[in-house]
């Protein structure tokens, strides 16, 4: 009998390095993370105290607003407020949908640049009035302040890149104000569906904003960096299958990753821009609009709005329901929605329970679950193969979404709700996970840039187009089988110890240490095992649910419905090798001989395997027994 010996991961130490930050640049919200003295990543607030900064710019007279202050301008000055510009980066005007409704400044074709999307806003501009020639020749005039004319209305046309530059400058300025020193580099998150032209446009805009971009990190990668930093959460193994659910305002992004010894390998991705956080907001606004009409007898039509008054009421409701969603996420009770002068000077205060809220947005939850099923099927896996669900975005903080998803997975699946880290900046906080992952990645890249020539070569692996960004992975789980007499097929015919799980990026190295029961007797002790590739699957059975005494006493007229029960299975597929070595360090324990083995698996990027085994005793490691297995 063989028993693996587990060891806990050592804490990660982070030394001093250049000042770097992580930026989560979303289409609706952005956040900035810096590293603390302890080497942990933490999201910081801007000068307005916002950790989640709205990706919004607003022009009002001579003033420019950035962030949540700008978002409030959607009520009175929507035509001068710019939102949703990130997704337009690197796009041509002719590529944009012409019939998409907008609640802010519309996108126009730039009047001077062909096929370039832009925004036209109204501003007030003031220009100095030149002094007269006579006055300028007097001694007193040389010291007089230049008078300022009254501001005059003017039009200002801004390209998407110029809007992005203004916004990124404000983010970096907030970070520098917080840190008290200049930011020397940043890692910025990007969605997986960003095309090369969009990535180039973002890099160029960031450079114009004075940002040294160390890497554009895909959002799935940023989340993986955060969740693999330090030891795994309780109930999780270091090697696991991770599902990322990113429900942004404008779309759903799903990623399935295999996490192997701290390395993340993408199994499948899926994007759906027909569902997102905005769909939840729209359903909630329609619910409260009906409540307003019912209470006041004043008709209110939203999403889409009917007229100018309805559009203004919709903008007010959109801001109010964000607070309602946060309350629903944090409290199991009732959440309120209050708006002053919603329409025709009438105030509105409505309430909704979590149960009613979940009923209203049930279709969104069901769509997310359907897309998750598609993603897992594309990867050739089952929902029961998923060990961990990671949420990204404020809309995924809703407990109803977690309930709708988790019930389809195994009961042991770990989510931020099961670990209690869904809020408060913890590892599983959906609103900060991307920025913190970018900050941790920026720290690694900054350290490599300052290191040896070999470390700088490693840094090149993080650039787009590097061969290391196209890693291969194992297709089957490889492990050791210790045959046992009388063991049935249900146990593979012996004791099974997995060593290299399927979907492990190669090249890789795995070391497994375990105790082996050698049996009784005085003969020469030998330890041996077989190396197998195995096929993993899911066994599905339909069984009748257990019945209680009361149920048995009643006669059911209808046949009782069966329930589906799933169970993970393992089958032997390919015998790769056999190893036998003499146990010179065996000890007699309770009448049975035991020894400790250390087995190492090395797999190169061509798929060749080297397995080496040695006995571990009081005098150290014994002689190695090595077998080489060429790739098929």
Q: What is the C-alpha separation between 230 and 232, in angstroms, rounded?
A: 7
* Alpha helices (H) in 45-137, listed in sequence order: 68-71, 73-76, 133-136
Q: Are residues 409 and 389 in contact, defined by beta-carbon separation less than 8 angstroms? A: yes
Interval 68-88: pLDDT, tens: 999 999 999 999 999 999 999
Interval 589-618: pLDDT, tens: 887 888 999 999 999 988 999 999 999 988
Please state, in angstroms and as integers, the Cα–Cα distance from residue 286 to each residue in 344, 359, 360, 445, 492, following that order.
Answer: 18, 13, 10, 47, 57
Q: What is the C-alpha separation between 518 and 527, in angstroms, rounded?
A: 7
Q: Which of the given ranges, 233-237, 425-429, 620-624, has the highest pLDDT on average? A: 620-624
CA angle, residues 13, 22, 422, in degrees to nearest 5: 80
Q: Are residues 298 and 346 in contact, defined by beta-carbon separation less than 8 angstroms? A: yes
The fold of the 473-543+563-629 domain, in CATH, is: Substrate Binding Domain Of DNAk; Chain A, domain 1 (2.60.34)
Nearest to 273, CA basis, from 246, 256, 252, 245:
252
How high is the pLDDT of residue 139?
46
How high is the pLDDT of residue 9?
39
Q: Under CATH, to which class is 20-126+149-217 assigned?
A: alpha beta
13: its two tokens: 């130490």
CA angle, residues 599, 605, 611, in degrees to nearest 5: 15
Q: How many CA atoms lie within 13 A of 531 on its CB side?
A: 21
539 or 205, higher pLDDT: 205
How high is the pLDDT of residue 493?
79
pLDDT at residue 373 tops 50: yes
Interval 156-173: pLDDT, tens: 999 999 999 999 999 999
Q: Are residues 505 and 471 in contact, defined by beta-carbon separation less than 8 angstroms? A: yes
How high is the pLDDT of residue 7?
38
Q: How many CA atoms lie within 13 A of 225 on its CB side?
A: 25
Strand ranges for 2-62 from DSSP E: 2-4, 20-25, 29-35, 41-44, 53-54, 56-60
216: its two tokens: 């554009």
Q: What is the C-alpha separation between 19 and 256, in angstroms, rounded?
A: 32
Say what the pTM is.
0.83
Interval 416-457: pLDDT, tens: 888 877 665 566 789 999 999 999 999 988 887 765 665 555
286: its two tokens: 């329609």
| Every domain of the chain and the residues it spans | 20-126+149-217, 231-426, 473-543+563-629
Helix, strand, or coil here: 418?
helix
Which residues are within 8 A (CB) of 275 and not within 5 positions of it... i.e. 6 or more apart? 247, 251, 252, 364, 367, 368, 371
Q: What is the band of 519 on the pLDDT scale with cuts at 50, 70, 90?
A: confident
Strand ranges for 261-303 from DSSP E: 263-272
Burial 60-88 (b: 16+ CB within 10 A, else e): beeeebbbbbbbbbbbebbebbbbbbbbb
Beta strands across the sheet bearing 526-543: 494-500, 477-483, 526-543, 563-582
- From the CA atom positions of the chain, what is the Rg in Å? 31
Q: What is the C-alpha separation between 264 and 267, in angstroms, rounded?
A: 9
Q: Are residues 20 and 184 in contact, defined by beta-carbon separation less than 8 angstroms? A: yes
pLDDT at residue 470 tops 70: no
Average pLDDT over residues 459-472: 61
Domains 20-126+149-217 and 231-426 share a fold: no
How high is the pLDDT of residue 166?
97
Q: What is the C-alpha separation between 329 and 358, in angstroms, rounded?
A: 11
Q: Which of 53-62, 111-120, 136-145 has the lowest mean pLDDT?
A: 136-145
Q: What CA dihedral angle connects 10, 15, 20 and 26, to 10 degrees?
A: 10
- CATH of region 231-426, choose from 3.40.50.1860, 3.90.640.10, 3.40.228.10, 3.40.50.300: 3.90.640.10
């Amino acid at each position: 009998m063989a028993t693996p010996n587990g060891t806990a991961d050592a804490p990660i130490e982070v030394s001093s390095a250049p000042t770097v930050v992580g930026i989560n640049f979303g289409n609706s919200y952005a956040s900035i993370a810096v590293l603390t003295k302890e080497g942990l990543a933490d999201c910081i607030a801007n000068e307005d105290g916002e950790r989640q900064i709205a990706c919004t710019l607003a022009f009002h007279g001579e003033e420019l607003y950035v962030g949540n202050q700008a978002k409030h301008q959607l009520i009175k000055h929507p035509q001068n407020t710019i939102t949703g510009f990130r997704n337009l980066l690197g796009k041509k005007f002719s590529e944009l949908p012409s019939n998409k409704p907008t609640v802010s400044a519309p996108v126009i074709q730039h009047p001077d640049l062909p096929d370039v999307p832009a925004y036209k806003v109204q501003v007030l501009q003031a220009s100095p009035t030149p002094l007269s020639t006579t006055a300028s020749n007097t001694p007193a005039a040389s010291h007089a302040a230049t008078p300022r004319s009254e501001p005059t209305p003017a039009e200002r046309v801004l390209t998407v890149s110029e809007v992005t530059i203004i916004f990124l400058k404000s983010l970096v300025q907030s970070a520098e104000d917080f840190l008290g020193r200049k930011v020397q580099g940043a890692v910025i998150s990007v969605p997986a569906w960003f095309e090369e032209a969009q990535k180039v446009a973002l890099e160029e805009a960031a450079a114009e904003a004075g940002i040294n971009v160390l890497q554009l990190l895909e959002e799935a990668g940023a989340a993986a960096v955060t969740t693999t930093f330090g030891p795994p959460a309780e109930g999780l193994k270091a090697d696991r299958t991770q599902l990322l659910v990113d429900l942004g305002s404008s779309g759903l992004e799903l990623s399935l990753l295999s996490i192997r010894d701290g390395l993340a390998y993408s199994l499948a991705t899926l994007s759906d821009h027909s569902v997102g956080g905005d769909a939840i907001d729209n359903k909630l606004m329609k619910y409260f609009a009906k409540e307003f009409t019912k209470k006041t007898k004043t008709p209110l039509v939203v999403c889409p709005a009917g007229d100018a008054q309805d559009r203004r009421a919709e903008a007010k409701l959109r801001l109010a329901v964000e607070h309602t969603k946060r309350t629903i996420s944090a409290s199991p009770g009732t959440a309120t929605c209050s708006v002053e002068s919603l329409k025709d000077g009438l105030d509105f205060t409505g309430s909704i329970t979590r149960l009613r809220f979940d009923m209203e947005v049930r279709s969104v939850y069901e769509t997310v679950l359907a897309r998750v099923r598609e993603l897992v099927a594309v990867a050739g896996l089952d929902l029961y193969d998923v060990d961990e669900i990671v949420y990204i975005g404020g809309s995924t903080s809703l407990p109803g979404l977690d309930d709708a998803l988790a019930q389809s997975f195994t009961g042991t699946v770990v989510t931020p709700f099961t670990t209690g880290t869904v809020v408060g900046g913890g590892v599983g906080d959906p609103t900060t996970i991307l920025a913190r992952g970018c900050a941790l990645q920026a720290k690694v890249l900054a350290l490599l840039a300052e290191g040896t020539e070999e470390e700088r070569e490693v840094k090149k692996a993080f650039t787009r187009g590097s061969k290391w960004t196209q890693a291969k992975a194992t297709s089957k789980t490889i492990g050791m089988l210790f045959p046992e007499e009388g063991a049935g097929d249900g146990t593979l015919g012996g004791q099974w110890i997995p060593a290299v799980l399927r979907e492990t990026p190669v090249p890789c190295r795995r070391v497994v240490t375990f105790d082996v029961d050698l049996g009784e007797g005085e003969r020469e002790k030998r330890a041996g095992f077989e190396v197998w590739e195995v096929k993993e699957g899911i066994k599905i059975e339909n069984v009748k649910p257990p019945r209680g005494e009361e149920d048995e006493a009643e006669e059911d007229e209808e046949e009782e419905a069966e329930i589906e029960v799933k169970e993970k299975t393992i089958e032997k597929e390919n015998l790769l090798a056999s190893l036998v070595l003499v146990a010179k360090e065996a000890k007699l324990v309770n009448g049975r001989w035991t020894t400790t083995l250390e087995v190492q698996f090395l797999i190169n990027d061509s798929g060749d395997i080297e397995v080496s085994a040695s006995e571990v005793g009081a005098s150290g490691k014994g002689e190695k027994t090595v077998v080489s297995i060429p790739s098929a």
